[in-house]
Structure 1
Amino acid sequence: MKILRVLSILLLVGVGSTPFARAAEDKVSTRFVADNSDAPSFEMAAETAYMLGIINNPNSYEIGAQFITARWRFGPVYREGFFRGYNQFYFSGVAEPIFRGPENFYYGITIGLRYNFLHAGSRWTPYVSGGVGLGWIDSHANVIGAQGQDFTFNVTSAAGISYRINDHCQASLGFLFQHLSNGGQTDPNPSLNLLGPQLGVTWSY
């Protein structure tokens, strides 16, 4: 009988304390939350861009850039205001046929960060990103304005907007800027600056 009384008392205490526990949970700040449905943990993307040479290069470059990119979300979702969103780390493999210019191709890798502006109830997600990397180009050092050696560094930045087609697929449109340079390893060191539109498809997991 004593055991039954103890169990009855514990049950009453547990049921009675439930509303207080929920009230305490409601008071916990929701400023930072992890929302896996809106902010996937991992993504794979295929992206393509068409870029033109800009800023102080005598050659009228036209380059097609192809990216296969893996993205990992890190940190919580920032939940308040216009800047609500989440961070991603990304790694890209790059292949760039050069349609116009002294060289013919560029291959490389890039790592960087991306921020997605996430708004509740919207399929549209603006983003900004930036990264650095390295690569190889079939250089022609004897041509004015061409790259001075095969090994080069790259700096990229992008901004655009993605549209969520369904829970696992997004389409994106934006602009891509890319800077190629060998970091002063040759003299002269003709840098190459490129800008153009970028399209992409992303699969979320």
Structure 2
Amino acid sequence: MWRSLLAAVLLSSTSSLATAGETSAPPAPAYDPLDHWEFAYETGALWSFGSNATPLDYVLLPQLLTFKSPYVFKGEFLGGTLALRNRLTIAVEPIVEGPENYFIGFTGAGLLEWWNPARNFSMFFTAGGGLGLMDSKGYEVEGGQGQDLNYTWLVYSGVRVMPAERVSVSLGLYFQHISNMDQDDINPGIDALGPMFSVGWHF
């Protein structure tokens, strides 16, 4: 009788431990966009402003194809995760107001992101530069750009949400400077600012 009772107690204890082990097992890790590459299509409108560049009014419509790397550095910050990524962009920018008609180029930048623990919301800041070509009109129209080869730098900040596991949507404010860095006698440059909207796919 005592042997049967002891066996029953041992069996019950073993079963309880097994159940407890199953209950305390960590859940499967959630999808983390920081571990993946991202391809994004970004579109917007920029208006020239300020007195440090051309006196002419310009309106540019940036159409950007952007690749973002997985994180290169990340750490916990303010209850979420702060991460640094790389960003490479091909830019096709029709100029709908101004003497020139287009700017086509590419840029590289560092991308700083803060993600919430659920990984469905982030704030971002990016800054970088590159170069490109435009059909310069500075020798025909006063205030136009002096040569076809131009350099650009940008500052871009905004917010991003993840409506689905591998899809992101973002809205931000984009600043762009374009000039030939005084490689030509005519170099008024362009300073432009405006909203940008993007949709990204993770892979």
TM-score, normalized by length of structure 1?
0.79
Counterpart code for 2:47: L
Matches within 5 A, 1:125-204: 125-142=122-139, 143-204=141-202
| Mapped partners of 1:58, 1:155: distance in 2 | 20
Contact in 1 for aligned 2:108/2:128 (Cα 8 Å): yes
SS in 2 for 1:148: coil
1:116 paired with 2:113, answer: yes
Per-residue deviation, 1:144? 1.7
> C-alpha separation between the residues in 2 aligned to 1:83 and 1:132?
28
Deviation at 1:187, TM superposition (A): 1.6
Among 23, 46, 49, which residue is 1:54 paired with? 49
The answer to whether the 8 A contact 1:50-1:62 is kept is yes
Q: 1:64, 1:38 → 2: CA distance?
A: 28
Aligned residues: 171
- Mapped contact 1:77–1:86 kept (Cα < 8 A): yes
Return the index of the structure with the highest Cα Rg: 2
Among residues 59, 67, 71, which one is paired with 2:68 in the alignment?
Answer: 71
Q: Distance in 2 between matches of 1:76 and 1:52?
A: 34
> Once the two structures are superposed, what CA deviation does each residue of 1:122-147 show, in whole Å capped at 9, x if it has no partner?
52211000111000000012222211
Indicate if the aligned counterparts of 1:58 and 1:144 stay in contact, CA closer than 8 A: no
**Counterparts of 2:62 and 2:150 in 1: how far apart (Å)?**
16
Deviates more, 1:70-79 or 1:183-192: 70-79
Correspondence list, 1:32-111, <5 A: 37-56=32-51, 57-81=54-78, 84-111=81-108
User: How far is 1:74 from its partner?
Assistant: 3.3
Q: What secondary structure sits across from 2:35 in the alignment?
A: coil
Alpha-carbon distance in 2 for matches of 1:195, 1:102: 18
- Confirm or deny: 8 A CA contact 1:73 1:86 kept in the other structure: no
- The letter for the 1-side match of 2:179 is S
Give the 4+ runs in structure 1 shifted more than 3 A.
none
Q: Which sections of structure 2, spanning at least 5 residues, go unmatched?
A: 1-29
Q: Is the 8 A contact 1:40 1:204 kept in 2?
A: no
Q: 1:179 to 1:82 in 2, by over 3 A?
A: farther
**1:31-85: per-residue Cα shift (whole Å, max 9, x none)?**
xxxx962413210000001000111222111110000011102334211326732
TM-score (norm 2): 0.80
Give identity over the alignment, percent.
27
